[in-house]
Amino acid sequence: MKRWLTAAEQLQRLAVCVAQRRCLSSGASSGPIPVRDAVLVVGSRRELVERLGSQVEVRTAFISEEEEQALLRELEPGLKKKRYEFDHWDDAIHGYRETERARWGAACEEVLNRLRSVAFPEGSQLLGPVHVLDLDKTGYIKPHIDSVKFCGSTIAGLSLLSDSVMRLVKEGATDEWLDLLLPRHSLYILRDQARYNFTHEILKDEDSVFNGLKVPRSRRISVICRNLPA
Ligand SMILES: O=C(O)CCC(=O)C(=O)O
């Protein structure tokens, strides 16, 4: 039976390719390039990737398997009481259920505090409840920009259960785009222009390809923190 490679395995292959390419072209002998720097963000133009580099971040293995389990233990009972929503043609999201959570157990609070400390400047005013989005295997998020009324300059999300691809497309210039590979257990952060001037979306399984490599999408839960508008 055909088995798709996980994002981690694909990253390993890509990292080796990139490291070899760089070594070949520069003759450098400084060892492999960290996976994080090498291949988690690709775009329509190198200049765009460089320009938005500081506003788009993906951190692999931000949470451990045990931390994912702790989050799921808190979230699953509430989520299981809801049905996935499929049929609202005008919704930005297809095949999802969602919840918000303000209070967490100690293990989860520790994860969220770690997220907050890397994603938001000290003293930022954060949106109180954390947003939790459960996408069915067939679910996907259509291109949208989060409301500027409710959400400030930064969106930070953890990916549980599945790898996925997030696509950012510049509003009014659809040939300007970035793809982010979001491996399971990773954290992504979108800031400033990347948040305000680019739509973001999570690709459906059929379209879930990163840099020419298939990234199989199964059920995915995201845990998303935002700051408040200034
Ligand atoms: O699931 C995600 O990580 C993205 C969520 C999203 O696009 C949103 O809530 O605006």
What pLDDT digit, counting tens, does each position of 9-54 carry? Answer: 665 554 433 333 322 222 233 333 344 444 899 999 999 999 998 8
pLDDT of amino acid 26: 26
Read off the pLDDT of residues 162-206 as tens digits, 9 standing for 90 and up: 999 999 999 999 999 999 999 999 999 999 999 999 999 999 999
pLDDT of amino acid 80: 97
- CA of 107 from ligand 1 middle (Å) equals 23
Alpha-carbon Rg for the chain, nearest whole angstrom, is 18
Backbone angles phi and psi of 93, in degrees to 5:
-125, 140
Would you state the torsion angle of the CA atoms of residues 17, 187, 170, 123, taken in this order, to the nearest 10 degrees? Answer: -140
pLDDT of amino acid 87: 74
Q: Which residues pair with 209 in a beta bridge?
A: 214
Amino acid at 155: I
Q: Choose one of 58, 59, 133 to mutate for the ligand 1 pocket test, by most ligand atoms within 8 angstroms of C-beta.
A: 133
Measured by CA distance, the residue closest to atom 8 of ligand 1 is 146
Inter-residue contact 96 to 87 (CB < 8 Å): no
Read off the pLDDT of residues 113-128 as tens digits, 9 standing for 90 and up: 999 999 998 889 999 9
Alpha helical stretches, state H, the chain? 7-26, 35-39, 46-52, 65-80, 106-119, 192-196
Q: How far is it, in rounded angstroms, from Cα 182 to Cα 137?
A: 15
Q: Is the CB of 146 under 6 A from ligand 1?
A: yes
DSSP-assigned letter for residue 54: G
Homologous superfamily in CATH for domain 40-226: Alpha-ketoglutarate-dependent dioxygenase AlkB-like (2.60.120.590)
Q: How far is it, in rounded angstroms, from Cα 155 to Cα 126?
A: 10
Q: Between residues 30 and 93, which one has the greater pLDDT?
A: 93
Q: Is the CB of 217 under 6 A from ligand 1?
A: no
pLDDT of amino acid 230: 87
Q: Show the CA angle centred on residue 141, arms to residues 5 and 153, nearest 5°.
A: 105
Q: How far is it, in rounded angstroms, from Cα 25 to Cα 19?
A: 10
Q: Between residues 148 and 21, which one has the greater pLDDT?
A: 148
Measured by CA distance, the residue closest to atom 10 of ligand 1 is 146
- CA of 185 from ligand 1 middle (Å) equals 15
pTM of the model: 0.86
How many other CB atoms are found less than 10 A from the CB of residue 87? 7
- Which residue ranges make up each domain of the chain? 1-39, 40-226
In terms of Cβ atoms closer than 10 Å to its own Cβ (0-12, 13-18, 19+), residue 214 is middle
Read off the pLDDT of residues 67-88 as tens digits, 9 standing for 90 and up: 999 999 999 999 999 999 997 6
DSSP-assigned letter for residue 205: G
pLDDT of amino acid 123: 85
Q: How far is it, in rounded angstroms, from Cα 77 to Cα 163?
A: 23
pLDDT of amino acid 30: 38
